[in-house]
Structure 1
């Protein structure tokens, strides 16, 4: 190990609750390089925060931990200000991220970060665990680039691993485990094909989905055995993927949560 190497551990703990009929941020614990921009209340009453990492990206050996708690009646939306840029890891150490989400009955938490962009030679592993009480609502998406495509780094990262699990009332209702280690097999047609960007998502709510979003060859949705709604999508271009994902997300939010479309101010 190089004596010049030094890693960072970022912490961000957020607790949302209700005060005088409005969602407020009751507590926030921040440890650099993770921080938030001050909360913004959207027209629908949801409280929005942007997670910010002011450094040049995530380095091998770095670890970040995000914990979000939402009380009953509160509505919280967590976004990131920019893409997560995973820098090369010459020492072979992974950058890691842990997300722990807890939502009480009657609460709603939505987490829609910008895409993860793995540089050539990078290693990134993350684990998201959401624990919901009966009657809680949750929405989560993640998007992944195949690398810095414009710089010839398509599928040149070392490893990308993501595990997402959702528990409701003590029972697991959704599990998605993905591990990509690019090599000859992942560059063959049928894995990514000609697509450069991928997305996944999960939503849990009390509403009924009657109009399932779908775009042939680009996006599909369905329901897990536990009752969670899932989404899968991939596209050649990032804007094409983002547009389809946004339409599908708002459709599912409206049907599952009875929520108005998000009006995000950046």
Structure 2
């Protein structure tokens, strides 16, 4: 579609720290075929099949999806959707945009097929826009695998999450230090992740920024990563009457784990929760995130959550 051009896939108000790397490419220019990844996905509950189904989809490689799967025996109406990138990762000059909308009481779990790899860059940066729109009585779990920034990579991600006051969305991020097996740990230039959430009336619910520049700051200092390697963030937007019990159960999980440290705080207005995690291994942070999903799903939907299966 002609309207899906470079401007459509480029974040607004890119911070100066990222624009410092906005140099022209000598190879395939920004905005050319293969540099713009687009995914549009609309899900809704289908009363005839008693399942959440894909009402509309459009994608442009290097982003794509396959058909929805129904993996949860205890909740067969939930649609599991896997986001796939055939290119294997984000290259310099890549601009990705993901738009996901849930309507008509849809229930879905969206994840990535594997980790998001941010390849080495010397001229430009990579970016990704994630727009989530969760309508009344809908439920979304957006739980991607970890981001792996390679040496000298630059990545900017902005996530806009619109959630109705009578809906629920769990959104998570995991950031690894790099290709540890290749002795690359905190050797990327910058990883800048911004999360903003509003309700159905565009009233602000949260604004959170994580900007990590390993070459410009002491990542190992107290108050940043200290001796840990993995950063995890979980954002829970859900009706106020469920906040206290969910927070208490999450705090119980965090206090009982030795593999990571973390905290869980209420958002302004008590309309959600923010959980920040630090650990040494991806699987430790992933398991805690799955435990959080399990808690939320039990309290909101009264169903269980099985460990994820990747295809």
Is 1:145 paired with 2:176? yes
Residue 101 of structure 1 and its aligned partner are, at CA, apart by 0.9
Residue 263 of structure 1 and its aligned partner are, at CA, apart by 5.2
Is 1:12 paired with 2:47? no
> Matched residues in 2 for 1:219 and 1:117: separation?
21
Is 1:38 paired with 2:67? yes
Give the aligned partner of residue 234 of structure 2: 201
What's the Cα RMSD here?
Answer: 1.8
Give the aligned partner of residue 56 of structure 2: 27
Residue 107 of structure 1 and its aligned partner are, at CA, apart by 0.9
The equivalences for 1:105-116 within 5 A come to 105-116=136-147
Residue 104 of structure 1 and its aligned partner are, at CA, apart by 1.1
Instruction: State the SS of the aligned residue for 1:239.
Output: helix
> Matched residues in 2 for 1:36 and 1:22: separation?
18
Contact 2:117 2:150 in 1 (8 A): yes
Instruction: State the SS of the aligned residue for 2:299.
Output: helix
Change (3 A) 1:47 1:150: same
Change (3 A) 1:80 1:147: same
> Matched residues in 1 for 2:136 and 2:81: separation?
21
Residue 257 of structure 1 and its aligned partner are, at CA, apart by 4.4
Instruction: State the SS of the aligned residue for 2:250.
Output: coil
Contact 1:205 1:257 in 2 (8 A): no
Is 1:213 paired with 2:250? yes
Residue 29 of structure 1 and its aligned partner are, at CA, apart by 0.2
> Matched residues in 2 for 1:256 and 1:74: separation?
14
Residue 108 of structure 1 and its aligned partner are, at CA, apart by 1.2
Residue 56 of structure 1 and its aligned partner are, at CA, apart by 2.9
Residue 2 of structure 1 and its aligned partner are, at CA, apart by 4.7
More strand by share: 1
Question: What is the TM-score when the length of structure 2 is the normalising length?
Answer: 0.80
Unaligned runs of 5+ residues in structure 1 are: none
Instruction: State the SS of the aligned residue for 1:106.
Output: coil
More helix by share: 2
Give the aligned partner of residue 97 of structure 1: 128
Unaligned runs of 5+ residues in structure 2 are: 1-23
Contact 1:212 1:222 in 2 (8 A): no
Moved more, 35-44 or 137-146: 35-44
